[in-house]
C-alpha cells in the first residue's frame, strides 16, 4: 500500500510543481542579491541572508529561512489535507477501503507518503540552494569575521562570528533540515487529522494553516505567555541555533519535543477518528 501511495505522489503533477516553486523562490532571491549585492543588514530580513554574500555554502540555511514562514507549511498542509479528504472527494476512498485496504494501513501509508514528501521538499530546497549559493556567491570568500580570519578551510562564519569548516556547515545544515522536517510534520499531522474529519481537502489545508497563524499571533502576544511554550510555531526558528558556535541546544530540544507531541497527539486523533468513521463519501 505504501508503494501505491508513493506512486500516486510521484505521478501527481502537483507534487512536482509545488516542489519546483519551493526551490524556485530561494533561487530568485539569490539572483537578486547576487546582482545587486544588497543583502539585508544582519538582524533584518530572512535569517542568515546577510551572511550569504560572504559565503554561498550558507545559502541552504538561508533558503530554508525564506520558505519556512509560508511556502513550506502551505505545501505540506495542502498535501496532508488532501491525503484522506482528496480521496473522499474523488470517491476513490470507498473503493480503496472495499478493496480492501485496512483503514489503519491506509492512514499509515498516507503518513509515510507525507513524510517522504516533506523530507524531499526540504532536502531539495537545501540542495538547489547549495548549488545556487556556490554558483552565485562562491564557497571560498573572504571571511568577514571580526578577527579577519581567512584560511582555506574556513568557508563561512557562524552567527557568533567564529569560523566554520565546510564539514561543520554541512552537519549544521543537516541538523537544520531535520529540525525543519519535523516541524513541518507537526503541520502535516494537524492537516492529516483535519483531512479525516472533513471531505474537503481545501478545508483541511486551510484549517491547519489557520492553526499556524493563530499560533504565530499568540507567540508574539505577551498576554499569551502562559501557553507560549506549547504553541506549534514557538520554536520553529530554533534551527538557527545550529549556526551558532557553540550550538545552543536548549530551544532545539524543546522544539523537537513540542513538534513530537503535536505529531503524536494529532496522529492518534486522526487514527481514532478515521478508524471508526462512517465513510459516506
Residues that bind another protein (CB under 8 A): 1, 3-4, 7-8, 11-13, 90-92, 94-102, 276, 278-280
By the 10 Å C-beta count (0-12 exposed, 13-18 middle, 19+ buried), 77 is classed as buried
Own/partner long-range contacts of 46-52 (Cβ < 8 Å, ≥24 apart) = 47/237, 47/240, 48/159, 48/240, 48/243, 51/144, 51/156, 51/157, 51/159, 52/133, 52/137
Q: How far is the CB of 207 from another protein (least distance, A)?
A: 23
- What does each C-alpha distance from 31 to 28, 49, 106, 136, 196 come to in angstroms? 5, 12, 43, 7, 41
Q: How far apart are CA 112 and CA 135, in angstroms?
A: 34
Nearer to another protein, 95 or 249 (CB): 95
Nearer to another protein, 3 or 37 (CB): 3
Contact of 201 with 195, CB cutoff 8 Å:
yes
Nearer to another protein, 43 or 91 (CB): 91
Q: How far is the CB of 96 from another protein (least distance, A)?
A: 6
Q: How far is the CB of 130 from another protein (least distance, A)?
A: 32
Nearer to another protein, 12 or 273 (CB): 12
Q: How far is the CB of 200 from another protein (least distance, A)?
A: 16
Element (H, E) at 157: strand 156-157
Instruction: For Cα atoms 247, 253, 257, give the angle at the middle one, nearest 5 degrees.
Output: 165
Q: How far apart are CA 169 and CA 72, in angstroms?
A: 22
From 152, 154, 177, select the one nearest 166 (Cα to Cα): 154
Strands 156-157 and 163-164, sheet pairing: antiparallel
Q: How far is the CB of 103 from another protein (least distance, A)?
A: 10
Nearer to another protein, 220 or 276 (CB): 276
Nearer to another protein, 97 or 120 (CB): 97
Q: How far is the CB of 172 from another protein (least distance, A)?
A: 40
Q: What phi and psi, each to the nearest 5 degrees, are found at residue 68? A: -60, -45
Q: How far is the CB of 269 from another protein (least distance, A)?
A: 19
Nearer to another protein, 11 or 37 (CB): 11
Sole residue written with cell 500500500: 1
Amino acid at each position: 500500500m505504501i508503494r501505491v501511495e508513493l506512486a500516486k505522489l510521484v505521478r501527481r503533477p502537483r507534487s512536482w510543481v509545488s516542489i519546483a516553486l519551493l526551490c524556485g523562490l530561494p533561487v530568485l532571491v539569490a539572483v537578486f542579491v547576487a546582482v545587486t549585492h544588497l543583502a539585508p543588514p544582519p538582524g533584518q530580513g530572512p535569517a542568515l541572508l546577510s551572511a550569504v554574500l560572504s559565503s554561498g555554502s550558507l545559502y541552504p540555511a538561508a533558503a530554508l529561512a525564506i520558505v519556512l514562514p509560508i511556502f513550506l507549511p502551505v505545501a505540506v498542509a495542502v498535501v496532508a489535507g488532501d491525503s484522506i479528504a482528496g480521496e473522499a472527494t474523488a470517491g476513490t476512498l470507498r473503493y480503496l477501503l472495499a478493496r480492501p485496504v485496512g483503514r489503519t494501513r491506509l492512514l499509515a501509508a498516507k503518513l509515510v507518503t507525507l513524510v517522504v514528501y516533506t523530507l524531499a521538499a526540504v532536502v531539495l530546497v537545501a540542495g538547489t540552494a547549495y548549488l545556487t549559493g556556490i554558483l552565485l556567491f562562491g564557497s571560498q570568500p573572504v571571511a568577514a569575521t571580526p578577527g579577519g580570519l581567512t584560511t582555506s578551510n574556513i568557508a563561512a562564519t557562524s552567527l557568533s562570528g567564529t569560523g566554520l569548516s565546510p564539514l561543520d556547515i554541512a552537519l549544521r545544515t543537516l541538523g537544520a533540515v531535520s529540525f525543519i522536517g519535523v516541524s513541518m510534520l507537526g503541520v502535516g499531522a494537524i492537516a492529516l487529522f483535519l483531512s479525516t474529519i472533513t471531505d474537503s481537502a481545501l478545508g483541511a489545508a486551510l484549517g491547519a494553516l489557520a492553526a499556524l497563524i493563530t499560533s504565530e499571533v499568540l507567540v508574539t502576544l505577551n498576554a499569551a505567555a502562559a501557553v507560549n511554550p506549547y504553541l506549534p510555531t514557538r520554536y520553529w526558528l530554533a534551527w538557527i541555533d545550529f549556526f551558532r558556535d557553540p550550538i545552543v541546544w536548549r530551544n532545539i530540544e524543546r522544539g523537537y519535543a513540542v513538534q513530537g507531541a503535536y505529531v503524536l497527539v494529532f496522529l492518534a486523533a486522526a487514527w481514532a477518528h478515521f478508524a471508526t468513521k462512517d465513510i459516506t463519501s
